[in-house]
Amino acid sequence: MKIVCLGAGNVATHMANAFKENGAEITQVWSRDLATAQALALQIGAEAISDLNDVETFADLYLIAVKDDAIAEVANGLKKINGIVVHTSGATGMDVLQDHKDYGVFYPLQTFSKSQPIDFIHVPLCLEANTEENMTSLQMIAMKLTPLIYEVESKKREILHVAGVFACNFVNHLYTLSHEILKENALDFEMLRPLIMETATKVQEALPEQVQTGPAIRDDIKTISKHEELLSKTPHLQDIYRNLSNSIKKTHS
C-alpha cells in the first residue's frame, strides 16, 4: 500500500509513523515548507516535496493532515491523482474534497503530543467515504492501525469533535487550573497525578454520571462555601468553581 502524506505536523507525523510501522509505504511527504517535509520524510524513508505538482499520481491514499483552514487549498492543489483523498479533521465536512472522484475522512479521535509516542490500537478512527466501495477501502486501511473503527458521517463527526473538546481540551484546562491553585501555595503538581489518572481510569468501565463525587453532588454547602472563600483572591477560579458546581447540581437533580 502506497500513501502520500500531505502535511508534516503533529497528526501527520503520528499517522505516518503508525502506517510505516504497520507495513504501509509512505512514498512522499508534502509540506509548504520543504525543511518541515524533510524532517518527517527522513524518519519514514519518504521523498520530501513542497510543490503539490510533484505529488505522484498513483498512490492508494492521499492523507491530508493539515490545519482545517488549509484543507481546501491542499485538496484543490492535487491534480490528476487516482487514489482516495482523505482529510483527518474532526471539524471539517467531507464535501471540502468533493472535486475528487474518490474521497473520504480519516479522523483520529485522539490527542497527539509531539514528544509522546502513542499506540494506535488506542486511537479510534472515524471514517466517512463518498461511496460504499471507498468506505470498504478505508476500513481495510484503518484496520492496519487499530481495531477501533467507526463509520461516522460529517454531522456526527462534528458532534464528536465538540464532545472531545469537553473531555480533553477542557479537562486539560482544569488540570492547569488545579496546578495554578497548587503553585500559589507551593504545593507540587506531582501530588495530584495519581488522582487524575484514577479519575480517567474509573470511566473506562463506568459511565461518568454514575461515579460523580465531591461536595457539589452531595450538596455539601459548608465545604462549597469554604472552597469559594479559599478562591476569593482568584476570582476567575472562583467563577469556574461556582459554574461547574451549579452544573453538577443541575445535572444530578
Which residues in 3-42 contact a second copy (CB under 8 A)? none
Interactions with a second copy, residue window 183-212 (CB under 8 A): 185, 187, 189, 191-209, 211-212
How far apart, in whole angstroms, are the C-alpha atoms of residue 22 and residue 120? 10
Cβ at position 163, least distance to a second copy in Å: 4
Q: Are 237 and 180 in contact (CB under 8 A)?
A: yes
Which of 35, 70, 30, 67 is CA-nearest to residue 50? Answer: 30
How far apart, in whole angstroms, are the C-alpha atoms of residue 117 and residue 135? 28
DSSP category for residue 128: E
Cβ at position 248, least distance to a second copy in Å: 5
Q: Which helix (H) or strand (E) holds 195?
A: helix 193-202
Q: Are 110 and 90 in contact (CB under 8 A)?
A: no
Of the two residues 136 and 225, which places its CB atom closer to a second copy in the complex? Answer: 225
Q: How distant is the alpha carbon of residue 1 from its chain centre?
A: 24
Cβ at position 215, least distance to a second copy in Å: 7
Cβ at position 177, least distance to a second copy in Å: 5
Using CB under 8 A as the binding rule, whether residue 101 contacts a second copy is answered as no
Interactions with a second copy, residue window 39-68 (CB under 8 A): 68
Stretch that binds a second copy, among 30-38, 96-104, 131-139, 233-241 (CB under 8 A): 233-241
How far apart, in whole angstroms, are the C-alpha atoms of residue 59 and residue 67? 22
What are residue 188's phi and psi, to 5 degrees?
A: -90, 135
Cβ at position 72, least distance to a second copy in Å: 12
Interactions with a second copy, residue window 111-170 (CB under 8 A): 111, 113, 115-116, 118, 122-124, 126, 148, 150, 152, 156, 158-170
Binding mask 213-232 for a second copy (x = CB under 8 A): xxxxx--x-xx--xx--xx-
